Structure formats: structure tokens, C-alpha cells
Structure 1
């Protein structure tokens, strides 16, 4: 009789194949989602329709449907089934349900915007270990980059400079461009020189002087262009042509990355709590600037209306599919954000597996050891800051186009804390984890907790303890419970799990010999390196 083979200790058993279960779950949740967001059909269902319209029930069905994508990632299933669930959920079912209920389309865009922000902050906090509490500042830079130019605010700026040109003319533009070109060439030359030889005090100050010259040249050039364009203020009364949307996608990435470098240069020599406080303050500086620069940002009144991209062929396709005209731009932004998320996720994965990704992790684990191994600390941290900032910048622009209104209050400290909570809740360093964290936090804040308050509004509960008034308290309690019960996050990376549970996997080696455990003190335990006194005595054992 052959003995039964036992699995090797420590080896995980293979997961059961759940292809059929995944497909069935996808079909059922898709059907329920489409039914629960079809108003005419709900009216014909009577009491069942009233039940499905309940805010809590509706939020539950949306959450279950979005779990399709999570299960497709976690479960062992056939590749065709995972592809069916992913493409079917994101490209077909959600847009069709959003056609009947625009708020669902808006919610999906919000989840993906925050997922992209969480992926960007995950590079800074999760991989590089830099606690950034002012991350929303880069989000604001991207939003205002498009909001100022794609709204009537741009016409107001042109009128102001047309009435107050000062000494600015075409000569100013020539001087600004010349200064910009010369300083860029100087910075490139100094950079190449210091790459061959050790930097000296002269080259350091020369580079700083060239940096100030570059800023001055860009400022002169920008002012001259605005003054020369002031005659077109009337023709730009509603902002620039929406066709420039694609150009400004690239400009928002560049603007946010440049701001990230400018903020990072003076502060990234700090670490820990000091870095957190400095980034918090700089994030508030950006918000206060947006509040005080009335000419450009309209101050606390905000900028509105902000245009979105104009894509005629897409509008025709959306109309043929039954979408109303006011849904065209939302459907377009939905697919645009989905495409941007795919690009951002691909960049994150490639960076994580590259040399720079390993350098970020080395800095996070031990800066001194990383520097001893030749990792340039400031340069590597700046790359992390600029990369995370660029993701926030492009999403800020899309956010402005979706909302058609932005104000400084849209970018306060609570937004930064919210994005940070998504990263921590999902699992720092885990790309699927931070996306899951963004979805959970957004659903809690926009659907589940407001729905809970709305559903209990007529139950006679005192106003002081109504869940609708205690959303922040409930959300905070959920975060505290998560940190106590699962500190590594909902979907942590393997590296993070091993870091947090390293002590749990350690064994007391003294328990393997004949000697007693070190903690019991029952017998004398000898050092394994001590020679035995007798020929038959075991080294390290009891006498």
C-alpha cells in the first residue's frame, strides 16, 4: 500500500478553479445593476422596485458589481473568463447602466480619478517612503492649468494685461526667449561638466544662477505673449478652443512635475516627521495662492464654466448608442480616465521592477545603507516626487473638465488625507491594493455613508446620532479598526506582508535541541559552539 504524500510544509495549496463561479457572479451582478438603475423598469416592479431604489441597497449592488474586477484579479480562473469580466464590466455594463443613471457614470469617473491619485501617492509614500501630506497641491496645479485657459477667466487675464502692458512688447519676448535658451544651454553644459568631474562650489552656484535665469526668461516670455494676445480677448470670451485639450494633457503633466521638483528640491533633504510637516505647509501654500491670485483663479468664487474636449466622432457614436447630449462629455471622460489608468498602472509596474524602483525601496528601508550602496538620495527622491506629481496633474485637469467648476476649497488638506488613507487602507506598495482602497473609500464617502444617512432619516433617530451627521466619525472608526486588525491593508504586497509579520514567522531555535526553551529556564542550555566535555555528549544540549 502506497503511503499518502503530504504537501511540503510552508507550501501553499493551489487555489480551486473558480471560472464558472466568476462568470455566474458577473452575470448576476450585471443583471441586478442594470435593473436597479433603470427607472421605468423599477416603477413597473412595484414593491420590489421600491426596495431596489433604497440608497443602501443601491450602494450594496454597486459595490458587489465592482467586486467582479477584484475577484477576477484574486481568483484562479481561465484567462478568457477574467478577460470577459474585466472588459464586460468596465467597457459595456457600467456605461450602459450609466446611460440610465448619470450619477453612476459620475461615480465611476470619481473612483478612477482617486485611484490614479492613489497610484501616484503610492510611489511617493509606498515605494520611496516619503510621507507627503500636501499631495493635493499637484492635483490643483493640473486643474488650474486647464481651468484658467478653458474658461472665461482667460479673457479677463488678457483684458487686464491689455490695459496694463507696462513696458512689455515684442522686444521683451525676444529677450525672454534668448535668456531661456542661454540658461538652458548653460545648465546642460554644467550638468555634463559635473558628470565628468566632482562638482565644485563654482559649478553649484553657476547652476543655481542659471536656474534663476531660466525662471526669469520664462516669466518674461509668458508676460510678453499674454500682452501681445490681449487684442484677442473678445474672441476668447469663453476660453480657448476645446481642441487644445490634448495639448494641455501634456502641459498639465509637465507643470505638475516641475512644481514637484521645485517643491522637492528644498525639502527632500529632510525625512520623517519634518518632511511631513513641510509638505503639509507647502500644500497649503498652493491653496492659499489659488485663493489670493484673484486675477488668474477668481479667488474663492472659483472658475466656471470650464470646457471639456470636443470629439465629434465620439459624440456621434454616443448618440447612436442612445446616450443623451448632456452625457456625451461624461462618457468621453469615462473612457479617457480608463485609458489613463491603464497607462499609469503600466508605468507603475515597470518602474517598480526597474533599477529606480529598487532604489526607492532601498531608500524607504534604510537611507544610510542606500547611500552607502551608491544610491543618489536627492535625485532619486526627486524622481519619485516628480512622477507622483505628474499623475496628479493629469488627473487634476480631467477633474476640472468633469466638474466644469474648481475653487481653492476643492484642494484642501482633507483631500490629501483622503488620498493617503486610500493608500494605507489598500496596502502601501501594492498597486491592486491602492486601487481597491480608492474604490472602497470613494464608495464609503459618496454612496454608502450618505445612503445610510438618507435611509435612516425617517426612522425617528435623534439628529445628533443620525448616521448622516456622523459620516466622518464612522469613516474614522473603520480606518482605526483596519489598522488594528489588518495593518498591512486590504490587499497588501507580499513584501509589505513579510515586513509587518516578520516576527510572527520567527522560531526559538533553542527549542529544537534537547535543552529547554530559553524563556523557561528549566535546564542549562550550552552554546552550540562549546566543545562537549565527553565524547558522547551533544554540543549545545543538556548535561
Structure 2
């Protein structure tokens, strides 16, 4: 079955017309949200304006500024007009955390082509790094008894969690580089389960993680005397970290290491023949993806104020992988859209539909069995989504774009290159030789290899 090819008609208009359409659309959603009250529909439609912004032909700086205004000013301001303000901020914060994790997994799976089914282990490492030292759990195995740490030191644990997760990403990559494909997936799946089981049983003989009971009463971060106790505090923190993650991944994708990742993904043998170091390239992919997951694990532990091993199961890794596949493997915007879609389904759409069906059943309008409620059919719906996307859009919602070069610039480089080559050929035809750097005289072995006497 052929994949459906679809082009977004919004990009056909003049950039000024696109900006006007975006402004009118955003204003209309805001007016409707304010007049009709809090609604999941208007919240999702406001986020959809960022998708239209991505498809527009506006300058890149204008797109970033527009997105910052929508997410940093308009969304919190409009959501604060109703009683559901903190619930919307909670959903948006969870979206930001999952976006960063999906972007990190997209480096490993999408850019480098390494299937990782234990990605949530790095998320758990960052979370436990924060939770142990910002609660009294550290007093169980350290004799100093100066814990929990004050909230002002939370900012030092962001790079620490990033470093620890990246380090374990390298330690995972070292033994698994010899395998590929399905075997790599099995090894990484085992790594994720091993980390979860270690955290679940690391309460004996020394109580480090408190085992299956989990760690509670994690101290919230502080900044300029403000304690982060509400979801909107973490929303702005996640927004800043997410902007840094997206910018870093965008720069990595268009850098030399990003091109090396894609070369390894397409053909390892050809990439190695062209001089790409396979071991270093793969280890860099594991470390980069794991570090972004680790830093969000630190934020997650502080936001939840409680963690236990059940938050880091294999299903979480599968959920993040679903985000990458739905959005489009190897596509940075695709990972963002996939994470938003799956998170919105999990936290808003399915619970809202379940409540609506329960109300209709309580009123006697319909007879709806609880076993078929949308919340309980979550995995079934995800499976159907994957099947439909595999059949009709196998490259995801936003497939990866090939980098295009300006033909005029390439023609200029070609014109600059031809005179130099013409001069080299003329010097060779006239009996001259190209200048070569001085080198040491050949050894006897190298001379004999060429069939000449020493």
C-alpha cells in the first residue's frame, strides 16, 4: 500500500499573509477560550498554532520569537483566567518533559539508527540522583546527616544528573556496540530492566533507594527565595530547559557529528570506509540522548516530590519510542509533535472521554461497560495508531527533511574550484609537480614494497 503524500496548503501563501493568518487564528482561539471557559479543545488548538508556525515560511528567528511568546506569555496568561490553571500547567509541564526525552531518544534511534528499548533507565538515574540527596534518604547510608539539601542547590544537580546519565549512556554503549538490530534492542531492554530492579532492591544491605517503598518528601527547588511548589513554577523551568535542549539538538544535527550519526544509520560499512569512527560516533549518540533524559529526570523528581521504581517501567520506554515513531524518526519537529500528541492523549483526551462516558452512563443515556473505557483501552489505541501510521504514513507525521543547499552558492563554489584545478593540471602537463609537505625519507620496508632496491 502506498503512503499518502500530503502537502500543507498554508505554506503556499506570502509570508506576510501567513503571519496575518497565524495572528487571526491565535486571537480567535484566545477569544473562544476566554468566552466559553476552560476547555481541552482550545488548549490543544492553541498548541496547534505552533504546528502552523513550523510549516510557515517565516524567518527562523521570527518563528522562535513567536513560539516563545505563545508558550511563555499567551498560554500561561489565558490559562490563569480559570480554576483549571494549575491542571493545564501540569499537562504542559509533562509535555515538556516528554518532549525532551523523545528528542533524546530520537538522537539514538532516529539519527544514529540504534534501537534503544531501555531509555527510561537514564530518566530514572537522573530522578534518583536528585531524590536521594534532596530528602532524608541520604542519611540512611551517609554519616554526615546533613540531608535533605537546601532547594538552592537544586541547580547544581541539573548538570550533575545530566553527567551521570551521559556516563551510564557511555557505559551501556561500550558492551553493546558489537551487536546490532534486534540484538541491540534486547540488550538495551535488559539494561533498562536491570536498572529498575536495582533501584527496587537497593534497600539491603544498605538502604540507598528505599526499595519498592520509594523516596518521598523531596525538597522543591528555590530561586531568589521562591520555592517551586506549584506546577506553573516547573512549567517555566521546563520551558527554559526544553528551549536549550532543542537548540542543542538542532546544532548537533547540522554539525559534523550529526552527519556522522546519519551516515552510520544509513550504512555502517560505507561510513567506516569514509573515515567515520564507529565506536566514538555511537558512544556520542548514547551519551547525548541519555544526558537529556537525565536532566529531565532531575526535574521530574523535584516536581513529583515522590518517586518509586514503578515510574520507570519498560512501558515508559515503549511510550517514548511510540512518540518518536508517530512523529517521524530522525525528525526533530516530529519528535516534538509525537510527544505532544501522546501526552495529550494520556493526560487529557482519554480521561476527559472516560468522564464524559461515565456521566452519560450515570444519567441513563447509554449503557457503557467500564472495561471499555478509553483510559483502560490506552495501549489498544496506541497499537491501532502505530498500525495506521505504518500503513498510511510510515515516515511519521513530520518526516525528516533532507538538507538543501542553495544552487547559487554551490555554483559560486564550483566556479572558485575550477581555476585552481586548471592551474594544477597545467603545472602537471608542463612537467612540474605539485608542492607536497616535507616528509621523512621512506624506510627500507616501504621502498622494497614498491619493488625498488634500497
Q: Indicate which of 212, 224, 227 corresponds to 1:300.
A: 212
Residue matched to 2:340: 439
Q: Indicate which of 255, 265, 268 corresponds to 1:354.
A: 255
**Greater C-alpha Rg:** 1
Paired with 1:78 and 1:381, the residues of 2 have a C-alpha distance of 33
Residue matched to 1:130: 114
Does structure 2 conserve the Cα–Cα contact (< 8 Å) formed by 1:33 and 1:65?
no
Secondary structure of the corresponding residue to residue 469 of structure 1: coil
Does structure 2 conserve the Cα–Cα contact (< 8 Å) formed by 1:456 and 1:467?
no
Is the alpha carbon distance of 1:88 and 1:28 closer, same or farther for their aligned partners in structure 2, counting shifts above 3 Å? farther
Is the alpha carbon distance of 1:279 and 1:433 closer, same or farther for their aligned partners in structure 2, counting shifts above 3 Å? same
Report the Cα offset of residue 376 of structure 1: 1.4
Question: Does 2:22 match 1:22?
Answer: yes
Aligned pairs (5 A) from 1:9-48: 15-17=12-14, 18-35=18-35
Report the Cα offset of residue 306 of structure 1: 0.9
Residue matched to 2:150: 241
Report the Cα offset of residue 135 of structure 1: 0.4
**1:268-309 deviation digits (Å, cap 9, x = unpaired):** 121100000000001100000000002111111111111121
Residue matched to 1:55: none
Residue matched to 1:91: 72
Paired with 1:299 and 1:428, the residues of 2 have a C-alpha distance of 36
**1:471-490 deviation digits (Å, cap 9, x = unpaired):** 22122212211221111110
Question: Does 2:62 match 1:65?
Answer: no
Q: Indicate which of 197, 205, 212 corresponds to 1:288.
A: 197
Paired with 2:10 and 2:160, the residues of 1 have a C-alpha distance of 50
Residue matched to 1:460: 367
Aligned pairs (5 A) from 1:479-494: 479-494=386-401
**1:394-428 deviation digits (Å, cap 9, x = unpaired):** 00000111111111010000110011111111011
Residue matched to 1:375: 276
Unpaired runs of 5+ in structure 1?
Answer: 1-11, 37-41, 43-51, 53-57, 159-229, 316-324, 497-543
**1:428-486 deviation digits (Å, cap 9, x = unpaired):** 11111110110001001111112111111123212333334322212221221122111
Q: Indicate which of 299, 302, 310 corresponds to 1:398.
A: 299
Does structure 2 conserve the Cα–Cα contact (< 8 Å) formed by 1:23 and 1:85?
no
TM-score (norm 1): 0.67
Q: Which moved more, 1:459-468 or 1:386-395?
A: 459-468
Paired with 1:441 and 1:258, the residues of 2 have a C-alpha distance of 29
Secondary structure of the corresponding residue to residue 307 of structure 2: coil
Report the Cα offset of residue 81 of structure 1: 7.2
Q: Supply the RMSD in Å over aligned alpha carbons.
A: 2.2
Secondary structure of the corresponding residue to residue 165 of structure 2: helix
Residue matched to 1:141: 125
Aligned pairs (5 A) from 1:52-451: 58-77=39-58, 82=63, 85-99=66-80, 100=82, 101-158=85-142, 230=143, 232-233=144-145, 235-236=146-147, 239-294=148-203, 295-312=207-224, 326-327=229-230, 330-451=231-352
**1:142-179 deviation digits (Å, cap 9, x = unpaired):** 00000100012112223xxxxxxxxxxxxxxxxxxxxx
Question: Does 2:385 match 1:478?
Answer: yes
Secondary structure of the corresponding residue to residue 349 of structure 2: helix
Report the Cα offset of residue 93 of structure 1: 2.3
**1:344-399 deviation digits (Å, cap 9, x = unpaired):** 11111111111111111111011111111121111110010001110000000001
**1:484-534 deviation digits (Å, cap 9, x = unpaired):** 1111110111249xxxxxxxxxxxxxxxxxxxxxxxxxxxxxxxxxxxxxx
Secondary structure of the corresponding residue to residue 467 of structure 1: coil
Paired with 1:22 and 1:96, the residues of 2 have a C-alpha distance of 19
Secondary structure of the corresponding residue to residue 494 of structure 1: coil
Does structure 1 conserve the Cα–Cα contact (< 8 Å) formed by 2:112 and 2:262?
yes
Is the alpha carbon distance of 1:413 and 1:14 closer, same or farther for their aligned partners in structure 2, counting shifts above 3 Å? closer
TM-score (norm 2): 0.79
Equivalences, count: 380
Paired with 1:77 and 1:373, the residues of 2 have a C-alpha distance of 37
Does structure 1 conserve the Cα–Cα contact (< 8 Å) formed by 2:10 and 2:56?
no
